[in-house]
């Protein structure tokens, strides 16, 4: 892995001095040590640190066999979950799939669709319509087993599957991924006899993509989870505390973003130049937003897809309020080759590009944009990886997780809790009339 994923900090240099970066180095080293010796905040949620290498062959086989079983009986597999229980698998599946996946004929693997990540009545209605006449299975994922969005979606999908296949056969089409012992989903799975996978107690939702939470849906979609895990394992070796700062990219990234934050750059925009990476950004937004945004602190993680958003958010980034920095996730090589054709008339005057690969044009857009934004006052962190495949996605996932832990400790928050998520839930339950919330419900209604 060494040096295959590169971080370039050249374009933050005019915004933060060498000494400002140096000053944060000891905090990064301390933070990385704390992740390993488990002496920092939230240390009961550090199971993800050594997770990749602890996944056994038997674990992978169990996941692969279950994926094979679901694939063999389904055209569509509905993955139900929200937050960390869906974003990781969605990110990997989107990155690796054909851009027009849902329209492909002669599929080898079922179409994986997601539900339970919002409460839209129309979405669930459309899901039911889509399932009609197709063979369907479902993976329900909830660590707590009590989250409203997936629980609501699961009621709908479970009822549908039981109606179509009968209760006995429905069991073969439903897999639950949840806590070892707690929560309604665990209870229900035991009662109904669903095949169940466990989310370890010490792995929080947004750090769970390398558990069955992410691995089962990714395997169902037909991708190689062994390569994904191997990428994470190899990256892990490069991010150990004994790897010096100069070669340890998780510390470098964490230091760079914290140094920029201290200079008033409060918003980090993750940039990609390939729409397949859109959900990698969504996953990263959750990872960093939920881990760092607390106690009145934290970088606000945002995302753009370029060059698409250069024609919308590009204006703000170039010329708007200067509280931004960008982190570009740059793919060195495209997976397919396509060149720009020559045109006899040349009315669009693009013949000077004829014969060039589209990827080269995209690369020049990337480099040109980077310089323009730096000139406009937007620091640029550049992270490059060789190509989009399982191995490098596994490596990137682990890199961002590790850097997130280090960064959260530098910020001096507990990166592994999410107390702020509860506020909306309480209000929602109160407004819906949940028993025990009567007074709160009455108070809230007065304000509406």
Residue numbers at the binding site for ligand PA5 (CB under 6 A): 82-85, 142-144, 147, 150, 204-206, 290, 418
Task: Considering the complex, state which of residue 48 and residue 160 has its C-beta at the smaller distance from ligand PA5.
Answer: 48
Task: Considering the complex, state which of residue 52 and residue 214 has its C-beta at the smaller distance from ligand PA5.
Answer: 214
Least distance from C-beta 320 to ligand PA5, angstroms? 30
Q: 18, 108, 311, 446: which one is catalytic?
A: 311
* Cα separation, 130 vs 371, whole angstroms: 46
Task: Considering the complex, state which of residue 85 and residue 97 has its C-beta at the smaller distance from ligand PA5.
Answer: 85
Q: 125, 237, 332, 425: which one is catalytic?
A: 425
Identify whether the C-beta of residue 252 lies closer than 8 Å to the C-beta of residue 7: yes
The residue nearest ligand PA5 at its CB is 205
> Is there a catalytic annotation at residue 311?
yes
How many CA atoms, within 13 angstroms, populate the side-chain half-sphere of residue 256?
A: 26
**Secondary structure, 3-state, 19-71:** HHHHHHHHHHHHHHHHHHHCCCCCHHHCCCCCHHHHCCHHHHHHHHHHHHHHH
> Is there a catalytic annotation at residue 125?
no
Task: Considering the complex, state which of residue 184 and residue 353 has its C-beta at the smaller distance from ligand PA5.
Answer: 184
Least distance from C-beta 323 to ligand PA5, angstroms? 26
Q: Measure the CA angle with vertex 404, ends 267 and 9; round to 5°.
A: 60
* Cα separation, 157 vs 147, whole angstroms: 16
Task: Considering the complex, state which of residue 64 and residue 179 has its C-beta at the smaller distance from ligand PA5.
Answer: 179
Q: Measure the CA angle with vertex 323, ends 317 and 326; round to 5°.
A: 55
Match 């199971």 to its residue by tokens: 47
Identify whether the C-beta of residue 225 lies closer than 8 Å to the C-beta of residue 63: yes
Identify whether the C-beta of residue 74 lies closer than 8 Å to the C-beta of residue 136: yes
> Is there a catalytic annotation at residue 373?
no
Least distance from C-beta 261 to ligand PA5, angstroms? 22
Least distance from C-beta 205 to ligand PA5, angstroms? 2
Least distance from C-beta 431 to ligand PA5, angstroms? 19
Q: Which two tokens stand for residue 101?
A: 């996946």
Residues noted as catalytic? 290, 311, 425
């Amino acid at each position: 892995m060494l040096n295959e994923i590169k971080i370039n900090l050249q374009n933050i240099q005019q915004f933060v001095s060498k000494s400002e970066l140096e000053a944060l180095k000891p905090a990064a080293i301390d933070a990385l040590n704390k992740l390993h010796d488990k002496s920092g905040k939230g240390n009961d949620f550090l199971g993800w640190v050594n997770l990749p290498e602890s996944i056994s062959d038997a674990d992978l086989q169990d996941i692969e066999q279950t994926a094979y079983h679901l694939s063999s009986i389904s055209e569509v597999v509905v993955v139900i979950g929200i937050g960390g229980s869906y974003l990781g698998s969605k990110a990997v599946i989107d990155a690796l799939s054909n851009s027009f996946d849902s329209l492909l004929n002669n599929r080898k693997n079922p179409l994986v669709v997601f539900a339970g990540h919002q409460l839209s009545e129309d979405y669930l209605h459309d899901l039911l319509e889509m399932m009609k006449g197709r063979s369907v299975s479902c993976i329900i994922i909830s660590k707590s087993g009590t989250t409203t969005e997936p629980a609501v979606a699961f009621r709908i999908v479970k009822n549908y599957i039981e109606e179509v296949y009968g209760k006995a056969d429905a069991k073969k089409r439903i897999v639950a991924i949840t806590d070892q012992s707690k929560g309604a989903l665990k209870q229900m799975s035991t009662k109904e006899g669903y095949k169940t996978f466990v989310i370890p107690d010490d792995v929080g939702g947004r750090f769970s993509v390398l558990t069955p939470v992410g691995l089962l849906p990714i395997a169902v979609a037909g991708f190689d989870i062994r390569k994904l895990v191997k990428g994470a394992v190899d990256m892990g070796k490069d991010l150990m505390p004994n790897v010096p700062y100069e070669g340890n990219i998780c510390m470098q990234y964490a230091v760079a973003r914290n140094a920029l934050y201290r200079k008033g750059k409060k918003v980090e925009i993750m940039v990609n130049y390939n729409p397949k990476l859109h959900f990698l950004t969504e996953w990263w937004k959750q990872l960093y937003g939920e881990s760092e945004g607390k106690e009145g602190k934290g970088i606000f993680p945002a995302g753009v897809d370029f060059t698409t958003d250069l024609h919308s958010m590009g204006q703000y980034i170039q010329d708007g309020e200067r509280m931004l920095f960008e982190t570009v996730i740059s793919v060195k090589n495209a997976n397919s080759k396509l060149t720009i054709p020559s045109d006899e008339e040349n009315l669009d005057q693009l013949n000077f590009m004829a014969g060039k690969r589209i990827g080269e044009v995209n690369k020049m857009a990337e480099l040109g944009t980077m310089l323009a934004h730096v000139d406009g006052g937007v620091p640029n962190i550049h992270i490059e990886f060789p190509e989009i495949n399982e191995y490098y996605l596994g490596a990137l996932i682990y890199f961002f997780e590790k850097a997130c832990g280090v960064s959260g400790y530098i910020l001096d928050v507990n990166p592994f809790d999410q107390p702020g998520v509860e506020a909306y839930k309480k209000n929602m339950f109160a407004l819906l009339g949940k028993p025990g919330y009567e007074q709160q419900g009455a108070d809230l209604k007065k304000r509406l």
